[in-house]
Each structure stands twice: as structure tokens, then as C-alpha cells.
Amino acid sequence: MPNKKIFILLPDGVGLRNFAFSNFYKIGLEKKFDITYWNNTPFDLTSLGFNEIKIKNAKPNPLTDSYKNARKHIELNLSIKKEKDTVYDSYRFPFSFKTIKGTVKSCFAKFFIAINNSEKGLEKVREKIKKQERETDFYKGCLETLQKEKPDFVFCTNQRPVLAIAPILAAKELKIPTGTFIFSWDNLPKATMVIETDYYYVWSEHMKSELLKYYPYIAENQIFIVGTPQFECHFEKDIIVDKIDFFNTYKLDLNKKYICYSGDDFTTCPDDPQYLSDVADSVRRLNEQNNHSLGIIFRRCPVDFSGRYDEVLAKNKDLIVSINPIWEKISEEWNTILPTREDVELLTNTIFHTEMVVNLGSSMVFDYACFKKPCAFLNYDVPNKIDKNWSVSKIYNYVHFRSMPNKDAVIWLNSTDEIAAKIQYGLDTNGTLESAQNWFKIINQQPPEISSARFWESIETILNY
């Protein structure tokens, strides 16, 4: 029997880490699949020895962005009505009126919301998106590619991009089974679904329940629980660098122990430089008072190339070492800032060679749980906020934090006065670790290191139906 041909659709760079820089490809080959990446990213996958077909002239219908935006707002409106919970308002992005093009798109979106703000209206919007995309040259080009290549399965690496709609619709037209991955633990309450496939891949039973709740047109037998490949690298012992080599490479002090401060993007945390400064002040006090020798490794958000931390880093250059993520900036658009395999290894080594992590509510809590190391969440507002409408309370009210089985899954830093003592607690006791690992079991299918294998097993199941 000939090998089954699998198309891995990469509509943007989000899927590279999970499906190009993990063991996903290697395991698929071992299972005798014929794998081709249908690649809409600037990254050259042939440099990794992968088969790829570059997507050219990917262009959606001019109205699809407006309909997609309308769909999101209508879904959020319906969630508020069903759940009687205004948290869903916090997932909205403001309409843009800065340019003529942005103004036109926003006006169309607001009009589509006004006339379709119901369950039936949502269904009309979903169908309208499909109808419009089937009329594009991009859709016709996708049909031609699929008719020529004849894949047995088309798998899309995430559910959000508009540019994934036409390829998936073309596959469906040709009766080729399709699937997509819900790529982040917070995506489903946010109404980020753009494509509709035959099968859906989720991290956990918890995420499966969310998918069924927010998208009732999806049936239970369409969902596979596979975990996520993003944590697999933490179990690859051969990528761990010797401590002396790692410290020498990044000019770290071998006499110090380091904690990691993991930065956020500006939208998530506009006051992040001040939080870093507060943590630095607290670590400095610990060093002075308790004869500690602690340092901080600062890992900025990979898509934040701003200079907003420069002043804090300069002031604390004796204490903070900035180790920047190794991402490639292809252009100014956020979705053309691409991860690299080198950064996957750098992240793993940063975790391995630090004692704990401090951040504002990120999934790094799970990365550190893989190494049995604690995480501290910042949980206070700074006095002079850059954005008066922003607050940590908004962040921790998001639906995905409600999956935390109890509040001691992380160390909560509730004020600047607490930081030093609670960092000390984390270092001394590995505090909160058991609860953090219990949370990880809720969020991600265990064991986390075999997620890629579960993906391929589920694809085998689909193709044997």
C-alpha cells in the first residue's frame, strides 16, 4: 500500500515551533507518511530537509476580514448572553479608524454585526465567509495544487488565520479530510476560530469541553485530545548545554544562581519594564540582606523589539542579563516574526539553568513545571500606570485562568513588599510545584513528551475510518 500523503498547512509562522522544530516531522516519517508542508511563511523548510510547496499569491476576499471580525464580536456577544459573564468583552480589539482602509473594514464589520447579532445571524456570517472565499483566485489556486498533489489529509497548524480558509475549503470541495489544531491554551474563549475542519486537535479534556461549549456545531467524535508539541523539547536531554558552556556563552556569573523574568508584549502588559525593575530591586535586597548571590535572566517577549526595557537594563546591568529570543524578523508585521529551532533549544536551556520564573500570567508556568521548578505571577498594579484602563485584575479574570485547580498553583506576588520574601520561599521550598503540576495535567494531556506521536496516531485513525 502506498504511503499516505499528508499536507501540513502553515498559514503563518505560529505553527513552526510545534510542527517544524519538534519531533513531529521525524515521527511522521517513521510511521511511513509522505509529508509535504504547504507553506505560507517566509521560512525555507527545505533548509531542514523537509518537502514543501510554497503558497503563492495568498489573498483573501476583500470583505473576509470584516466578516471575520464580525464573527468574533457576534460569538463574544452570544457568550455574554449564555454565560451571563462580561469577561468576554475583554477579548475584543478596538476597531481601527487610523487609515481609510482600516476605517472601511471597521465600518463594514460594525454593519455586519448589527444585522447578524444572533445565532442565525452567526450562521449566515460563517456561510458568507465560505462563499466569498470560494470566489477568490487564491481558492482556485489551492484547488489546482490539491488536484495535482492529491494529499490524503490536510492538517492546518492553527485555527486563526484568514489565509487558511481558502486551502481548507478547497480540500473539502475535493473530499479530502481536514483537521486543525487549537494552538494556545487561551484561544477558545476568545472566539478565535476562523476555519471549520472535519477534525479538531486540542490540548486536553478541558479544552475539548471548551470546544464543544463554544462551537456546538462540532461533534464529540470530531475531536482528538493530543496535547501540544511545544513542551516536547523540554524532555530532550541531548539539547541541554553544560552549565559552564551556557554561562560562558551568555556572560553569566558562575557564582550566582539565576531566576528568569519572562517579559510580555506591550498589549498584555504595558507596565512590564516597571515590574522588571521591582523584581530587580527585590533581588538586590535579598543579596544585600541574606548574603545571597542571585541574578536575573531577562527573556523578552519574542515579538517585542522595542527599547522600553533599556533604562531598567542599564540601571541594573550588574544584576540583569538579557538573553534575547532567537527569532527572525522578516518584516514589521507581527506575524512575520518567526521562531527558530535555535530558540527552542535556548528556551529549554534557560529554564534548565534558572531556579524559577517570574512573569505576568503566561504559560511559562507550564514550561517550568516540566522541569519541576516554581513560577511566580505578578499580581499588583504599579502606581503610575501607562494605560489607566489596564489592570492585572483584567488579566487574571480571563477564562483560561479559571482552569487553575487551586490558587496556590503559582506564587502570587501581590505587592512590591512581598517579592523578596516570596522569591526566597520559591528558592527554599520549590513552593507550589505540586499544584502547578496538577494544573498542567488539566491543561495538557500527559505525558507531554509524546504529543507528536499522538497527532500521528489520530491521523492514522482518521485515514482508517
Give residue-wise pLDDT tens across range 311-351: 999 999 999 999 999 988 776 555 567 889 999 999 999 99
Q: 195 with 237, same domain?
A: no
Q: 286 with 140, same domain?
A: no
What is the domain-level CATH number for residue 290?
A: 3.40.50.2000
From CA 318, how far away is CA 154, in angstroms rounded? 51
Q: 342 with 377, same domain?
A: yes
Closest by alpha carbon to 408, among 426, 420, 427?
426
Give residue-wise pLDDT tens across range 40-77: 999 999 999 999 999 998 999 999 999 999 999 999 99
Other Cβ atoms less than 10 A from the Cβ of 29: the count is 14
- What is the DSSP secondary structure assignment for residue 92, as one 8-state letter? P
**260 falls within a domain:** yes
Q: 35 with 82, same domain?
A: no
Other Cβ atoms less than 10 A from the Cβ of 164: the count is 27
What's the domain range around 108? 64-126
Question: What's residue 395's pLDDT?
Answer: 94
Give residue-wise pLDDT tens across range 183-202: 999 999 999 999 999 999 99
From CA 350, how far away is CA 366, in angstroms rounded? 14
Q: 272 with 415, same domain?
A: yes
Q: 289 with 259, same domain?
A: yes
Q: Residues 296, 261: contact at Cβ < 8 Å?
A: yes
From CA 247, how far away is CA 397, in angstroms rounded? 38
**299 falls within a domain:** yes
Q: 211 with 239, same domain?
A: no
Q: 93 with 185, same domain?
A: no
- What is the DSSP secondary structure assignment for residue 88, as one 8-state letter? G
What is the per-residue DSSP string for 261-291? EE---TTT-TTHHHHHHHHHHHHHHHHHHH-
- CA 355 centroid distance within chain: 24
Question: What's residue 1's pLDDT?
Answer: 44
**131 falls within a domain:** no
Q: Which amino acid is at 113?
A: I
Q: 272 with 397, same domain?
A: yes
Q: 55 with 144, same domain?
A: yes
Using alpha carbons only, give the angle 419, 303, 267 rounded to the nearest 5 degrees. Answer: 60
**19 falls within a domain:** yes
Q: Which residues contact 30 (CB under 8 A, 6 or more apart)?
A: none
**297 falls within a domain:** yes
- What is the DSSP secondary structure assignment for residue 51, as one 8-state letter? -
pTM, whole model, 2 decimals?
0.95
**Window from 165-169, 275-279, 384-388, 457-461 with minimum mean pLDDT:** 384-388
Q: Which residues contact 283 (CB under 8 A, 6 or more apart)?
A: 259, 294, 295, 296, 319, 420, 423
Q: Say yes or no to pLDDT of 30 above 90.
A: yes
Closest by alpha carbon to 339, among 297, 310, 301, 368?
301
State whether residue 208 is helix, strand or coil. Answer: helix
**122 falls within a domain:** yes
From CA 276, how far away is CA 301, in angstroms rounded? 13
From CA 431, how far away is CA 409, in angstroms rounded? 9
**355 falls within a domain:** yes
What is the per-residue DSSP string for 277-342? HHHHHHHHHHHHHH---EEEEEE--TT---STTHHHHHHTTTTEEE-----EE-SSSGGGEE--HH
**258 falls within a domain:** yes
Distances in Å between the Cα of 166 and the Cα atoms of 11, 75, 196 are 10, 22, 11
Query: How many domains are there within the chain?
Result: 3
Question: What's residue 407's pLDDT?
Answer: 85
From CA 411, how far away is CA 357, in angstroms rounded? 10
- Segment 295-301 mean pLDDT: 97
Q: 312 with 271, same domain?
A: yes
Residue 232 grid cell: 516536547
The 10 Å CB-count burial string (b at 16+, else e) for 239-255 is: eeeeeeebbeebebeee
From CA 414, how far away is CA 436, in angstroms rounded? 18
Question: Can you state the angle between helices 165-173 and 137-149, rounded to 10 degrees?
Answer: 50
The residues that bridge with 15 in the sheet, in sequence order, are none
From CA 170, how far away is CA 261, in angstroms rounded? 44
Q: Which stretches within 150-268 are classed as H helix?
A: 165-173, 205-214, 243-249
Q: 214 with 248, same domain?
A: no
Tell me which of 85, 105, 126 is where a domain ends.
126
Looking at the chain, the whole-number percentage of residues with pLDDT higher than 70 is 98
115 burial (CB, 10 Å; 0-12 / 13-18 / 19+) is exposed
Q: How confident is the model at residue 366 (pLDDT cuts 50, 70, 90)?
A: very high
**Window from 39-53, 283-297, 322-336, 363-377 with minimum mean pLDDT:** 322-336
Closest by alpha carbon to 400, among 157, 199, 160, 214?
214
Q: Which residue is it, cell 478596538?
A: 94
Give residue-wise pLDDT tens across range 408-459: 899 999 999 999 999 999 998 876 788 999 999 999 999 999 999 999 999 9
